[in-house]
Amino acid sequence: MFGLSTKDTTLLLFVAALTLLAPFLLNPFPENSAMAQFNAGYPDLMQRFVIFGTFAIGFNILFGLTGYLSFGHAAFLGVGSYGAIWMMKLLTLNVIPAIIMGVIFAGLFALLVGYISLRRSGIYFSILTLAFAQMSYALAYSVLTPITGGETGLQLKATDTPLLSNLAPGEIGRANLFGVDMRSSYELVIGDWLFTFNAGYYIAAVCMLIGFYISIRIFRSPFGMMLRAVKSNQQRMNYTGLNSKPYTLAAFVISGMYAGLAGGLMVAMDTQVGPERMFWTASGEVVLMAILGGVGTLIGPVLGAGMIKYMENILSKINDAILHQWFAFMPDGIENLLVAIFHPFIGKGWHLTLGMLFMLIVIFLPGGLVEGGQRIGRIFRRRDRKADSVESDAAKQRKPAE
Amino acid sequence: MGILEIKNVGKRFGGLQALSDVNLSVAENTVHAIIGPNGAGKSTLLNCLVGKLIPDTGSVTFQGQSLLGRKPHEINQLGVSRVFQTPEIFADLTVLENVMIPCFAHRDGAFQMNALRGVRSETDIRQKAEQILEDVSMLEKENMQASSLSRGDKRRLEMAMCLVQDPKLLLLDEPTAGMARADTNNTIDLLKEIKDKRDITMAIIEHDMHVVFSLAERITVLAQGTPLVEETPENIKGHPKVREAYLGEAQV
Amino acid sequence: MEAIILQILNGLDKGSAYALIALGLTLIFGTLGVVNFAHGALFMIGAFCAVTLQRILSLSYEVVDDTRTDFLGNPLKVDVPYVNGWFGPEMGQTIIEWSVPLAILFAIPVMMFVGYAMERGLIKHFYKRPHADQILVTFGLAIVLQEVIKAFYGANPIPTPAPPAFTGSFDFGALIGFDPNQIIYPYWRLIYFTFAAFVITAVFAFLQFTTFGMVVRAGMADRETVGLLGIDIDKRFTMMFAIAAVVAGLAGVMYTPINSPNYHMGMDFLVLSFVVVVVGGMGSLPGAVLAGFVLGILESFASMAEVIDIIPGINQIIIYLVAIIILLTRPRGLMGRRGVMED
Ligand SMILES: Nc1ncnc2c1ncn2[C@@H]1O[C@H](COP(=O)(O)OP(=O)(O)O)[C@@H](O)[C@H]1O
Ligand SMILES: [Mg+2]
């Protein structure tokens, strides 16, 4: 189906089902129960899952296939965001032109940065991309204030009157898709459970699914094979009559466009942007998402993005009072002890948990979450000697970068 | 006028004159062997032909076109393929993919943006790739990852990758080094068969005299960066200069 | 002219910090082939060694001072540091004030241990792993270390002043024959630079003139061959890791009076230090030092008001701009070798 093999179609449908049913799947605990802390099915967080998923899918096309490790991809995300918000300020509050603008801007900027950075490989390439991104960040923060809004960034304001919208004087515009407000939600109450279906989330989710589909096509195309050849042996590639530069540049621009899509989606959701979106930590985050999930696998980056965003949002909200509530059934001494043990890992300490998770994953699951999934899968179907898991061939592409 | 003309080529690495005043003409549709002791500059000479190195002096022309200043992929597109001394293959890819890549390069040129076409739908390419794998009797290994092949198989795979491009000039740098006797003989047979079937010129560097004498029509002896003699195989054995410089230490 | 000298001087201390961190990074990369994202954390731990020592030295017991009374008329209770009790009030006070320089002695064994434990406990298992794994695991470690420090010392910067003897500034211009009051330079920055120069010289001398250093250098150039000679290169590389940790730690200790340490100072320096290492050329020790100073000084020049007037924002981007230009014109950085980490 869709020009994909059965395996890939299954994967695509699986991911589609997960994302479309996310409001249910992510809210497994009844409202007001002690476990409701772990519910992630609220619009803001779900949007972040799919937006960063998109970002990571695109990053993986570059890093996973060609092995070129960009440390500056957040710059494209930021540029996409700025492009999108200007589209909304000037032209229309409809998100589609904004998102398209984000993709185009990011693509053009990636073309420029990629053209220069790809003259070098290895860590030299990484540092070049880092340098470009940090420069973009610094400039957006300072000199380019007239177009970036400097430190405060850009928001939709009452003074913005987009050409194609008929706002009442003084009304602040809201992002919409042909009239459907991005922030509008439908809430479904079933017993103690509350499920929220948010328009913005579904738009972002559809964008991610399209992105995911395209990424599968790229992985399975001759172009994708060439990219893997670049990673494997660039010298042999050249002596085979292939010019590796246009391939890597195309991959770079494509992944930059994914970042721009993510940036445009962010603006479509919350109609604001600030320069910190381009800071190196943001670039580092997408690298970690890809590695955590499984570099070079199709679904890994999405899992990695989900994992990191989940921890960031859920763990950081848990506090001692909640811990006490959980462990209230224990004798007081043990309760206090448990709270004291868990205290460093929650709330502001969620970074600690994240750091330990990184270490544990790399030490015990070098292939990331996907490898973990495969190991579990293998336990369940031992007899299947061929290990025809959807990801196994992609996972084999990993190699030491030495 | 040969298909490949090397004139006065010299190459220096710091204090080492690796090649000096090399003149060599390879006639079309012949097998030309280049022999010589280790460090004579044989691999360096090939590097100068394929664009890996730029010679300090002299000229290299292939079918009347200068090769100097061209990038490796441009030279390959002109019809020059090379098998390296240490196998250069796509170690992370499967054997079949290794052979499909040169097929694509041969058909589509140096760059083709076919990001949405499926590899699976490229039946022509696949057939061609499987044919050549059968020719080098590696078809049953087509789904293995190339890095898991034995050394001899890696070499054969690399040869298949070059042959599938149907090159006009095939450069082979010690193609049988590290191969078992039987594999060496298979390789000789394969190269002979290719030579009979297609219009192909080969330049082959080889230490194994059995291979050289089975295949070569002309032999150039290189020593310390300069050609000593160029002769037919019959005449080379008795040649006093060669005996002195080379064959004295090799087992004939 | 005065302005130029002043900017060079201003660039020296930051340059020194870059150089010291980059030196350690390069040592680790060159010997172990590991990309160590936790190196900034070592710098930070060094700085917190100074904080810790300051706290230890200030540990006090309560004494009732009968001669004075508090506002309720009760005898006043005062905290007296133990060191005062042992060395007398004056000497004790001096020791506390000198806690930063003293922390050097404290930091050396601590950093040695930290470095050793890190290498044996974690890094060792990652020699043969892809760089991506090394980055992720050391990055995770850096976060963990950073959070642990935050848990113990809080999120705010902790002032750790230099000894009073060095807190002021002096007129460097007058010393070298310029008009007075043109080039005023804080003592501690001069000390920091001198100290950095000393540490760098010591590391180079160690590598150059000891057998140990010779083996390590040979190992950096060609690990396998040295291994073939029957030399246990791994043990020496572990030592080198510990030494690199000490270098980073000392850089951190001495930096505390310049910038009050906080838990994220390591990360702040890490990224720039990587740029420094790469600009210097992966695997080249002199390159790392040179690039550290060059970038530090250029950064200080770019923050001159005159320069900013001409090119707005240049102070923010100068390091990255220079890095881009150098990497494009010199493919392997200032002094890099061919083939190191290019794929
Ligand atoms: N890139 C290079 N840099 C420096 N010296 C080289 C390089 N390539 C080859 N050499 C030297 O040139 C000489 C010829 O080498 P080569 O052509 O590989 O000899 P062979 O005839 O055995 O293939 C050798 O002494 C080798 O060390
Ligand atoms: Mg050779």
Tell me, what's the pLDDT at B115? 83
Binding site membership of B88 for ligand 1 (Cβ less than 6 Å): no
Contact across the interface for A225 and B97, Cβ inside 8 Å: yes
Q: In terms of Cα–Cα distance, which of C5, C13, C50 is closest to C189?
A: C13
Mean pLDDT of A191-200: 85
Contacting residues of A for C282, CB less than 8 Å apart: 123-124
pLDDT at site C93: 80
Residue A149 pLDDT more than 60?
yes
Q: What is the pLDDT confidence band of residue C337, given thresholds at 50, 70 and 90?
A: low
What is the structure's pLDDT at B247? 52
- For residue A312, the one-letter residue type is E
Lowest-confidence segment of A32-41, A90-99, B172-181 by average pLDDT: A32-41
Residue B46 Cα to ligand 2 middle (Å): 9
Contact present, B185 and B212 (Cβ < 8 Å): no
- Of the candidates C141, C339, C306, C118, the residue with the CA atom closest to the CA atom of residue C221: C339
Whether C220 has a pLDDT exceeding 80, the answer reads no
pLDDT over 60 at A205, yes or no: yes
The residue type found at B96 is L
**A387: pLDDT confidence band, cut at 50, 70 and 90?**
very low
pLDDT at position B246: 60
Query: Residue B218 pLDDT > 90, yes or no?
Result: yes
Label residue A31 by pLDDT band (50, 70, 90).
confident
Spell out the domain ranges in chain A: 6-297
* Distance of alpha carbon A179 from alpha carbon A181, whole angstroms: 6
* Choice between A144 and A322, residue whose per-residue pLDDT is larger: A144
Domains and CATH numbers, chain C: 2-56+98-329 (1.10.3470)
Residue with CA closest to ligand 1 atom 8: B44
Q: CA separation (Å) from C138 to A119, C41, C111, C141, C247?
A: 28, 10, 17, 5, 18
On the question of pLDDT at A241 being above 90, the answer is: yes
| Nearest ligand (C-alpha, residue B42) | 1
Q: How confident is the model at residue B148 (pLDDT cuts 50, 70, 90)?
A: very high
CA A255 to chain C, closest CA, distance in angstroms equals: 19
pLDDT at residue A386 in the model? 47
**What pLDDT shows up at residue C338?**
63
Q: What is the per-residue pLDDT for A401?
A: 34
Residue B85 lies in a domain: no
Per-residue H/E/C for chain C: CHHHHHHHHHHHHHHHHHHHHHHHHHHHHHHHCCCCCCHHHHHHHHHHHHHHHHHHHCCEEEEEEEEEECCCCCEEEEEEEHHHHHHCHHHHHHHHHCHHHHHHHHHHHHHHHHHHHHHHHCHHHHCCCCHHHHHHHHHHHHHHHHHHHHHHHCCCCCCCCCCHHHCCEEEHHHHCCCCCCCCEEEHHHHHHHHHHHHHHHHHHHHHHHCHHHHHHHHHHHCHHHHHHCCCCHHHHHHHHHHHHHHHHHHHHHHHCCCCCCCCCHHHHHHHHHHHHHHHHCCCCHHHHHHHHHHHHHHHHHHCCHHHHHHCCCHHHHHHHHHHHHHHHHCCCCCCCCCCCCCC
One domain for residues B199 and B103: no
| Min Cα–Cα distance to chain A from C131, Å | 6
Q: Which residues contact A41 (CB under 8 A, 6 or more apart)?
A: A22, A23, A24, A25, A26, A27, A195, A196
Contact A64, A218 (CB under 8 A): no
In chain C, pLDDT over 70 holds for what percent of residues? 97
* Entry field: residues in chain B: 252
Tens digit of each residue's pLDDT (9 = 90 or more) over A91-108: 888 889 999 999 999 999
| Cβ-based neighbours of C49, under 8 Å, separated by 6 or more | C103, C106, C107, C110, C111, C249, C252, C253
pLDDT of residue A349: 80
Which backbone phi and psi does A197 adopt, to 5 degrees? Answer: -110, 110
Q: What pLDDT does C340 receive?
A: 55
Q: For the ranges B34-48, C112-126, C155-169, which has the lowest average pLDDT? A: C155-169
Token pair recorded at residue A269 = 């959701």
Q: How far is C338 from chain A (nearest CA, A)?
A: 12
Q: Mean pLDDT, chain B, as a whole number? A: 89
pLDDT (mean) for A23-29: 86
For residue B91, pLDDT over 90 is answered with yes
**A397 and chain B: CB distance < 8 Å anywhere?**
yes
User: Does one domain contain both B72 and B5?
Assistant: yes
Rounded Cα distance, B201 and C10, in Å: 67
Residue bearing tokens 């407000």: A181
Residue B3 sits in a domain of what CATH number? 3.40.50.300
pLDDT at A393: 46
Residues B172 and B154 in one domain: no
B129 alpha carbon to ligand 2 midpoint, in Å? Answer: 29
Tell the residue nearest (CA) to atom 3 of ligand 1. Answer: B13
Tell me what the pLDDT averaged over chain C comes to: 84
- Please answer yes or no on whether B102 and A241 come within 8 Å at the CB atom: yes
Question: Is B236 part of a structural domain of the chain?
Answer: yes
- ∠ CA(B192), CA(B194), CA(B198), 5° rounding? 130
Report the 3 state secondary structure along chain A. Answer: CCCCCHHHHHHHHHHHHHHHCHHHHCCCCCCCCHHHHHCCCCHHHHHHHHHHHHHHHHHHHHHHHHCCCCCCCHHHHHHHHHHHHHHHHHCCCEHHHHHHHHHHHHHHHHHHHHHHHCCCCHHHHHHHHHHHHHHHHHHHHCCCHHHHCHHHCEECCCCCCCCCCCCCCCCCCCCEECCEECCCEEEEEECCEEEEEEHHHHHHHHHHHHHHHHHHHHHCCHHHHHHHHHHHCHHHHHHCCCCHHHHHHHHHHHHHHHHHHHHHHHHHHHCEECHHHHCHHHHHHHHHHHHHHCCCCCCHHHHHHHHHHHHHHHHHHCCHHHHHHHHHHCCHHHHHHHHHHHHHHCHHHHHHHHHHHHHHHHHHCCCHHHHHHHHHHHHHCCCCCCCCCCCHHHHCCCCCCC
Distance in Å, CA B32 to ligand 2 centroid: 16
Greater confidence (A27 vs A306) lies with: A306
Given the structure tokens 């935050």, which residue do they identify? C150
What strand order describes the sheet that includes B226-231? B80-83, B169-173, B201-205, B31-35, B218-223, B226-231
CA distance A352 to A82: 32
Q: Please report which confidence band the pLDDT of residue B173 belongs to, taking 50, 70 and 90 as the band edges.
A: very high
Q: What is the pLDDT of residue A51?
A: 96
Residues in chain A within 8 Å Cβ distance of C278: 123-124, 127
Question: Of A104-108, C142-146, C209-213, C223-227, which one has max mean pLDDT?
Answer: A104-108
Confidence of residue A394 (pLDDT cuts 50, 70, 90): very low
Asked whether the predicted pLDDT for residue C274 surpasses 80, the reply is: yes
Q: Which ligand is nearest to the CA of B222?
A: 1
What is the residue range of B114's domain?
Answer: 90-166
Domain-located, residue B208: yes
B84 in a domain, yes or no? no
Nearest to C129 among A116, A355, A366 (CB): A366
Q: Please compute the mean of the pLDDT values over residues A149-168 and round it to a whole number.
A: 82
pLDDT of residue A97: 92
Residue written as tokens 């992929």?
A: B73
Burial class (CB in 10 A: 0-12, 13-18, 19+), C108: middle
What mean pLDDT do residues C145-150 have? 91
The pLDDT of residue A61 is above 90: yes
Q: How confident is the model at residue A365 (pLDDT cuts 50, 70, 90)?
A: confident
Separation CA C321–CA A202 (nearest Å): 41
Residue B194 is inside which H or E element, if any?
Answer: helix B181-197
Instruction: Quick: pLDDT tens for B6-63.
Output: 999 999 998 889 999 999 999 999 999 999 888 899 999 999 999 999 999 999 999 9
Assess whether B19 and B120 both reside in one domain: no
- Nearest C-alpha of chain A: how many angstroms from B190? 21
CA distances from A363 to A356, A358, B84 (A): 10, 8, 37
CB-CB under 8 Å, B120 with A5: yes
Number of independent structural domains in chain B? 2
Residue A82's alpha-carbon distances to A70, A143, A148, A167, in angstroms, are 21, 15, 7, 22
Confidence of residue A384 (pLDDT cuts 50, 70, 90): low
Please tell me the least confidently modeled range out of A52-66, A319-333, B19-33, B59-73.
Answer: A319-333
Q: Which amino acid is at C53?
A: L
A36-56 average pLDDT score: 90
The whole-angstrom separation of Cα A52 and Cα A56 is: 6
Indicate the residue among B150, B166, B182 that finishes a domain: B166
Q: Indicate whether B135 belongs to any domain.
A: yes
How many angstroms separate the alpha carbon of residue B41 from the centre of ligand 2? 7
Q: What is the mean pLDDT of residues C158-162?
A: 84
> Residues B150-163: what's their mean pLDDT?
91
Residue C241: is it exposed, middle or buried by C-beta count within 10 angstroms (0-12/13-18/19+)? Answer: buried
| Greatest mean pLDDT among B87-96, C6-15, C170-179, C321-330 | B87-96
Average pLDDT over residues C78-82: 78
- pLDDT-derived band at A235 (thresholds 50, 70, 90) equals very high
Provide the pLDDT confidence category of residue C283 given band limits of 50, 70 and 90. confident
CB contact under 8 A, C317 and A352: no
Res. A400 pLDDT band, cuts 50 70 90: very low
The least confident of A383-397, B73-87, C76-90, C174-188 is: A383-397
Query: What confidence score (pLDDT) does residue A101 get?
Result: 94
Residue type at A277 in one-letter notation: R
Residues B229 and B162 in one domain: no
Amino acid at B234: E
Say whether both B161 and B193 belong to one domain: no
Same domain, B184 and B160: no
Residue listed under structure tokens 């544990």: A360
Sequence letter at residue C54 = Q
Place of tokens 């004494």: C63
Measured by CA distance, the residue closest to atom 25 of ligand 1 is B39
